[in-house]
Structure 1
Amino acid sequence: MPVTRTGSTHADVARGSENASMGSSRSGFATLLRAWRDRLSPADAGFAVTPDRRAPGLRREELAQLAGLSVDYVLRLEQGRATNPSAQVVGALARSLQLSRAERDQLYRSAGLLPPRDGTVSTHVPAGIQRLAGRLGDVPIGVFTADWTLVWWNAAWAALLGDPAVLPPSERNLARALFGSGVAHAAMTTVRSERGQDAFKASIVADLKDAVSRYPRDVQLDRLVGELRGASDAFAHHWAARTAAVQHTTDRKTIRHPEVGDILLDCDVLIVPGADLRMVTYTAATGSSDAAKLDLLRVTGVRRPVAANWPTTP
């Protein structure tokens, strides 16, 4: 490798230049965060707009709620006192602010991070999808990536299934909840599939197989599959099956809620073309007792206690 006259390699010089650039970019992170928070309409983010509202965009606590962060941490980011946010934090902020892909990449770079590479599972939720989901506030909605990681949800979803914000971002994954033994599994609400639990689990594994075939360079996806194959005999069995399982689309599920009891709901999985996302919705027939229970949850905003106390899957 060529060496400069000072004894440093060209790569060292390049790294030093890149680090200086990243350091200067980092100073703009707080400015971007504040500007994009002020730009986003509260209504588009699913919040009610009242006449006495003074903030032109999202309030700081609203952004914190959407991103699953503490208000204090968002404040420190905006004041430049927290200067090394993780990629997961930046990704959550980019989704909450409904940034375009170019803006998302700019936010990553301003934090001194490389933007997500092409060829890996995308966590980007287009602004239009967020607006659509936000305006269907009466329907519990969760948006999942190709590897079944939950990246967006509304208040109705949290009231029905528990608030995902109490979980670390890496644990907001349906496959980990079904087959793992960590906090994701401990936090999962009891849900019975009309198709049967084994068929439901097989469909999630089939989806992961499909994701691996389309994203062979995704390190995190490879790590997830390796982890579950080693930790769960059931996952390993489904993974090794030679017959193709039906991928998860539509089902009827009974959710055992600790406050309102069993709720029988239609579960529909809507594919978002061009974004490789799944929008999962839960609905009940108008006038049914199950619809009344959903209405009660929407009004009361019932929340579970800490994740470790939630009921687990059978």
Structure 2
Amino acid sequence: MNELGAALRAWRDRVDPAALGLTSANPRRVAGLRRGELAMLAGISVEYVARLEQGRAATPSSQVCSCLARALRLSTEEEAHLMRLAGYAAASDRVPTLIPRSLWRVIDQLGDTPLAVYDAAWRLLHGNPLFVAVFGDPADATADDRNAIIIQFESRNRRVRQTDAERAYFEQSLVADLRATSARYPHDPDVAALIARLAGNERFRRLWAQRAVATHESAHKTAVHPQVGAIPLDANVLTTQNTDLRLVVLTPRTGTDAREKLDRLR
């Protein structure tokens, strides 16, 4: 309930009252909705909002959760996250890591494209030969060097170059995705250890405090290969429904020579 309360406070703080037509003669001390405004929009009492945010209330009903989601303008992923925090979704103990045969068949058909499979905590499970050629062989890498989030926030991959805008979007999206994973697998010790480790990173800590929840779906980056040079790539992420794995497919960016360089590496 403390996690639920913290999420509600963070979501309330980010809502622009003016966008909802709420005005006040008294100056606001902080940005976002006041508790009374959230209570009015959700149709519940101010006292109940306070108890929820302080972690002192009993589990809210699913109807109350839905009303809060609408009042806070939550995305679909964030509403699902709210429901999980309130106990309305069963959670597995551990993040799945087994790649099913159906996904292997897809991988086999995409051999001319760099692709990789990650689990829900962004640990690399498989990279096809072209992925290895572009980013380096992870066969002898440590566990840290196989986790995309650790690699990103600790600048471990020297073959990846991003603009400031690309990095900001990528990191925000990854952290929001990890927030969703932490709610789906609240008892996985590896997920807890990953979050604890990254809490020492200022950029991660700032993004984690925003409590955004989303599915990471795409990114842009440039791979810098020692033989063929810069390869601009677009990454598209497909999440499997039953196993919660992420299939990352990297395609050459339009208007560049990336396709030619990938063909040379292949």
TM range (shorter): 0.5 to 0.7
Amino acid across the alignment from 2:159: T
Alpha-carbon distance in structure 2 between the residues aligned to 1:213 and 1:228? 17
* Secondary structure at 2:156 match in 1: helix
Q: State the shift of 1:169 in Å.
A: 3.5
Aligned match for 2:192, one of 219, 222, 225? 222
CA contact (8 A) 1:265 1:290 kept: yes
Q: Which moved more, 1:274-283 or 1:253-262?
A: 253-262
Higher relative contact order (CA 8 A, sep 6+): 2
Q: How do residues 1-314 of structure 1 correspond to structure 2 at under 5 angstroms?
A: 118-180=92-154, 185-192=155-162, 195-230=165-200, 232-242=201-211, 244=212, 247-284=215-252, 289-298=257-266
Instruction: Give the RMSD, CA atoms, in angstroms.
Output: 2.3
Distance 1:186 1:250, change over 3 A: closer
CA contact (8 A) 1:161 1:189 kept: yes
Amino acid across the alignment from 1:241: Q
Alpha-carbon distance in structure 2 between the residues aligned to 1:215 and 1:155? 31
Give the alignment's TM-score, normalised by structure 1. Answer: 0.52
CA contact (8 A) 2:180 2:213 kept: no
Amino acid across the alignment from 1:239: W
Gaps of 5+ in 1: 1-116, 299-314
Amino acid across the alignment from 1:236: R
Q: State the shift of 1:132 in Å.
A: 1.6
Alpha-carbon distance in structure 1 between the residues aligned to 2:194 and 2:243? 21
Q: State the shift of 1:225 in Å.
A: 0.4
Q: State the shift of 1:288 in Å.
A: 5.5
Distance 1:193 1:149, change over 3 A: farther
Distance 1:123 1:222, change over 3 A: same
Corresponding residue for 2:83?
Answer: none
Q: State the shift of 1:177 in Å.
A: 0.5
* Secondary structure at 1:253 match in 2: strand
Q: Which moved more, 1:217-226 or 1:254-263?
A: 254-263
Alpha-carbon distance in structure 1 between the residues aligned to 2:163 and 2:180? 22
Amino acid across the alignment from 2:264: L
Alpha-carbon distance in structure 1 between the residues aligned to 2:255 and 2:150? 35
* Secondary structure at 1:216 match in 2: coil
Q: State the shift of 1:127 in Å.
A: 1.4
Distance 1:190 1:170, change over 3 A: closer
Q: State the shift of 1:213 in Å.
A: 0.7
CA contact (8 A) 2:223 2:231 kept: yes
Q: How many residues align?
A: 176
Alpha-carbon distance in structure 1 between the residues aligned to 2:109 and 2:180? 31
Distance 1:171 1:289, change over 3 A: closer
CA contact (8 A) 1:143 1:279 kept: yes
Q: Percent identity over the alignment?
A: 36
Distance 1:141 1:193, change over 3 A: farther
Alpha-carbon distance in structure 1 between the residues aligned to 2:253 and 2:222? 14
Amino acid across the alignment from 2:238: L
Structure 1 residues 93-148: Cα deviation after superposition (integer angstroms, max 9, x where no partner): xxxxxxxxxxxxxxxxxxxxxxxx94211111101211220231111110011011
Q: State the shift of 1:168 in Å.
A: 2.0
CA contact (8 A) 2:179 2:213 kept: no
Alpha-carbon distance in structure 2 between the residues aligned to 1:297 and 1:122? 32
Gaps of 5+ in 2: 1-90
Alpha-carbon distance in structure 2 between the residues aligned to 1:194 and 1:254? 12
